[in-house]
Structure formats: C-alpha cells, structure tokens
Amino acid sequence: MDQPKIKLKIVQTGDPVLRRGTRELSPEEIKSDSIQQLIELMRETMRAAPGVGLAAPQVGVPLQLAVIEDRPEYMNDYSPAELAERQRKPIDFHVIINPKLSISGDSSVEFFEGCLSVPGFAALVRRGRKVRVECLNERAEPVTIEAEGWYARILQHEIDHLNGKLYLDRADMRSFTTVDNLYQGENSDVADLPRGEHE
C-alpha cells in the first residue's frame, strides 16, 4: 500500500511572508537534501491543490524557488478554440530558481487569474504575451526559458510571488469576482481561470 503524500500548508493572503520578498539560493543549497525535499513537497502540494504553479513563499519559505506544471487533464474542460485563444499547452513539471524575467516585445493579453493564496476569487490581469526567463534548475544548472501564452502567464505570476507581489497588485479590480460568479451567466463564456485549479 502506498504511503500517503505529505502536503505543505499554503499560506493565505495577509501573511507577511507573501509580501516580504525572497533570497537567492546558492548552487550548494540547491543540491542540499533540505531543498530537494522542499521541491518534492511543493510538487505534491501543487498537484493536490490542484494548481499549475507554486512559489516557495506560498508555503511560508522566503526563497527564490517555484515549481510549475500544467497537466493535460487540466485542459479537459476547454474547447480547442479556448485553448488556442489562451495559447495553452501541457507543461512538464520543472523548477525555477533565482529567476530573472524579461518581457519579449510589447504584446500583452488580459485574462482572469486566480491564486492558491487568494482562494475563491479571480480578476482580470494584463500580462506580457512572451517572456524570457534565465534561472537555475533543481540541479543548479543554468536554464533559459522562452515562453508565450499561458506558460508565460504562469511564469510571470510565480515570479511575482518571489518579488512579494500578488496578482491583485496588477489586476483590474473592477473585474474582481468570486470564482462561482465568474462561471455563471454572461461571464461563463469569457472565464479563463483554470477550472478546478489555480496558480
């Protein structure tokens, strides 16, 4: 019989750790047992939520580390047209550490976002359509990520967490709504918060 997976507690908005900012990790720290265990626990916590990304401050740890994964099953409720509009495709599990983000070009797009640290709500957020991220992976190897569409949005959302920002800081607050209201009535055809999972 499989052992039950251990999950971390996800910190909720109002906790100072979400606003404090984070520190970089050295290659030696990244390779340590404690950080490798943290990565594994964050992966299990993100999947259990379920979510497409989780930053270390969201589990109370002020480090420049986030995990990302957009699983195929998260897209089951979307039509091909909706997925194309969001430029959304599955993303394999990976880790970003000490990321440096730059927006590529001046094209931006606005969609609804939610957050595991602000559960039950969503708002429209304008983000860059394409980004470049230079970071380290879980083996302390340098990695450059070129991303667009939904993947670019996830990266921007998670890196904001590492800089003490929430999506609410960038949101059009007139669009702020409960998730339940978002999926009812006239809004249901434009809702873009991933159904059943958040960042």
CATH class, range 16-189: alpha beta
Q: Verify whether residue 158 is a known catalytic residue.
A: yes
Contact by Cβ (8 Å): 161, 42:
no
Separation of alpha carbons 138 and 142, rounded Å: 10
Separation of alpha carbons 21 and 186, rounded Å: 38
Task: Reduce the DSSP state of residue 59 to 3 states and report it.
Answer: helix
Please compute the mean of the pLDDT values over residues 25-42 and round it to a whole number: 98
Q: 62: burial class by Cβ within 10 Å (0-12, 13-18, 19+)?
A: middle
pLDDT in tens, 81-126: 999 999 999 999 999 999 999 999 999 999 999 999 999 999 999 9
Contact by Cβ (8 Å): 95, 36:
no
What are the structural domain ranges in the chain? 16-189
Single pTM value for the model: 0.91
Predicted local confidence at residue 199, as pLDDT: 58
N residues, the chain: 199
Catalytic residue among 69, 113, 158, 197: 158
